[in-house]
C-alpha cells in the first residue's frame, strides 16, 4: 500500500481546480475513500492529485420548489441527515444509510461516488432511479448528463479526465410516492451484493400510478428497469403482480460472477430484493397488499 509519487495540488477556488484538471494527468481527490486505495495499490498513477476538500463552492445542498441540487463535495452523511431532503426525497437518506458505516459516510462524497461508478453503489443507483442530472465542468464550459447515460461499465463513466463533477440535480418525485430499499450484503453494511431501490405511488383506487425500480449489483452498471415499471403501472399491487415484475427485472439483469456471488445467485438475489422492495414500497402507507 505505497502510492506512486504524485504532485499535490490544493486549489483555492473552483476556477483554479478546473484549470488544473485541464492540464491532464490529474486525479480529483474528494473523500479519498476509494482514490487512496487505488493509489496505494498502484491501480492509478496520476501525475497530480487535485484536493477538492477546501472548495466550499462544491459543498452545499440547495432545496428548490421542484428540485434539490447537491454540490459534488457534499458528504453522504450531510445528505442523509438533511431534514429538507428527507421530507422531499425519502429515498436518499434510506439508500445512503446502507453505504458502509457512519465513518465512511462522514467522509465519502456524492460526487466521488458517482465518479467512482461502483456497480454496487447505493448512491449511483439512487441517482439513476431519481432521474438525476449530473453537471460536468471543464475549461470548455459545463454540460449536463442524465444519470442513466452517465454509467457505461464497471467503474466507468462518460466523464472525461478533464471534467469535474460539480453538481447533481434531482427533480422532486411526486409527494405520494413511497420508497423502499432492500439490500443483501455479506456482513452488516458491507458493500451490497445486490440492492433494489423502488418507488411506488398509488392512486385513490389503490392502483399503481408511479413506479421506479433500480438495481445495484445486478450487472456491469447500476440500472433502472423500465419494462418492470411499465408492468406495474395501472394495476393493483398483488403478490402475483409483484412476483411478475421482480422476475422481469431478474431476467433483464446481466449479473457478473464475483467472489461474493456467482451469476445465478446474483440473479436470484435481484429477484428477491426487487420483490421485497416493491412489496415494502406498496404497503408502507397502508400496511396491506
Residues 251, 270: Cα–Cα separation, whole Å = 9
Q: Please, which residue, 57 or 209, has the CB nearer to ligand FAD?
A: 57
Helix (H) or strand (E) holding 18: helix 14-22
Q: Please, which residue, 98 or 211, has the CB nearer to ligand FAD?
A: 98
Write down the least CB distance from residue 257 to ligand FAD, Å.
20
Q: Please, which residue, 169 or 247, has the CB nearer to ligand FAD?
A: 169
Q: Please, which residue, 37 or 254, has the CB nearer to ligand FAD?
A: 37
Question: Could you tell me which residues are beta bridge partners of residue 213?
Answer: 198
Write down the least CB distance from residue 210 to ligand FAD, Å.
25
Helix (H) or strand (E) holding 251: helix 239-252
Q: Please, which residue, 29 or 180, has the CB nearer to ligand FAD?
A: 29
Which residue intervals of 91-154 are DSSP H helices? 91-96, 102-107, 110-116, 122-129, 147-150
Write down the least CB distance from residue 96 to ligand FAD, Å.
9
Contacts of 182 (CB under 8 A, 6+ apart): 195, 196, 198, 273, 274, 276, 277, 280
Write down the least CB distance from residue 204 to ligand FAD, Å.
37
Write down the least CB distance from residue 22 to ligand FAD, Å.
13
Q: In the bound complex, which residue of the shown chain has the CB atom lying closest to ligand FAD? A: 112
Task: For residue 158, give the nearest of 130, 128, 127, 136 by alpha carbon.
Answer: 136
Q: Please, which residue, 222 or 232, has the CB nearer to ligand FAD?
A: 222
Write down the least CB distance from residue 156 to ligand FAD, Å.
11
Residues 79, 88: Cα–Cα separation, whole Å = 12
Helix (H) or strand (E) holding 227: helix 226-232
Q: Are the C-beta atoms of 91 and 128 separated by less than 8 Å?
A: no
Q: Please, which residue, 27 or 202, has the CB nearer to ligand FAD?
A: 27
End-to-end CA distance of the chain: 52
Query: How far, rounded to the nearest angstrom, does the alpha carbon of residue 108 sit from its chain's CA centroid?
Result: 12
Interacting residues with ligand FAD (CB under 6 A): 27-35, 72, 99-100, 104, 108-109, 111-113, 115-116, 118, 121-123, 164-165, 191
Residue at grid coordinates 476556477: 15
Write down the least CB distance from residue 37 to ligand FAD, Å.
7
Q: Are the C-beta atoms of 116 and 191 separated by less than 8 Å?
A: no
Amino acid at each position: 500500500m505505497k502510492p506512486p509519487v504524485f504532485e499535490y495540488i490544493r486549489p483555492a477556488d473552483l476556477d483554479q481546480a478546473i484549470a488544473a484538471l485541464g492540464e491532464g494527468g490529474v486525479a480529483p481527490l474528494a473523500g479519498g475513500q476509494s482514490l487512496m486505495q487505488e493509489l496505494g495499490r498502484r491501480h492509478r498513477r496520476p501525475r497530480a492529485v487535485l484536493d477538492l476538500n477546501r472548495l466550499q463552492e462544491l459543498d452545499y445542498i440547495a432545496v428548490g420548489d421542484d428540485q434539490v441540487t447537491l454540490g459534488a463535495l457534499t458528504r453522504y452523511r450531510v445528505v442523509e441527515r438533511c431534514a429538507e431532503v428527507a421530507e422531499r426525497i425519502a429515498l436518499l437518506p434510506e439508500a445512503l444509510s446502507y453505504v458502509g458505516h457512519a465513518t465512511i459516510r462522514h467522509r465519502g462524497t456524492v460526487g466521488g461516488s458517482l465518479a467512482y461508478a461502483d456497480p454496487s453503489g447505493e448512491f449511483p443507483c439512487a441517482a439513476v432511479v431519481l432521474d438525476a442530472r449530473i453537471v460536468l465542468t471543464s475549461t470548455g464550459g459545463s454540460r449536463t448528463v442524465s444519470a442513466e447515460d452517465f454509467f457505461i461499465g464497471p467503474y466507468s463513466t462518460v466523464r472525461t479526465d478533464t471534467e469535474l463533477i460539480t453538481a447533481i440535480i434531482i427533480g422532486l418525485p411526486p409527494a405520494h410516492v413511497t420508497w423502499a430499499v432492500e439490500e443483501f450484503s455479506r456482513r452488516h453494511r458491507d458493500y451490497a451484493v445486490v440492492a433494489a431501490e423502488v418507488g411506488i405511488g398509488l392512486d385513490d383506487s389503490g392502483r399503481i400510478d408511479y413506479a421506479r425500480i433500480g438495481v445495484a449489483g445486478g450487472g456491469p452498471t447500476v440500472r433502472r428497469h423500465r419494462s418492470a415499471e411499465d408492468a406495474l403501472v395501472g394495476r393493483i399491487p398483488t403478490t402475483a403482480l409483484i412476483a411478475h415484475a421482480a422476475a422481469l427485472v431478474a431476467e433483464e439483469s446481466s449479473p457478473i460472477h464475483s467472489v461474493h456471488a456467482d451469476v445465478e445467485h446474483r440473479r436470484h438475489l435481484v429477484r428477491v430484493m426487487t420483490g421485497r422492495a416493491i412489496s415494502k414500497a406498496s404497503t408502507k402507507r397502508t400496511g396491506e397488499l
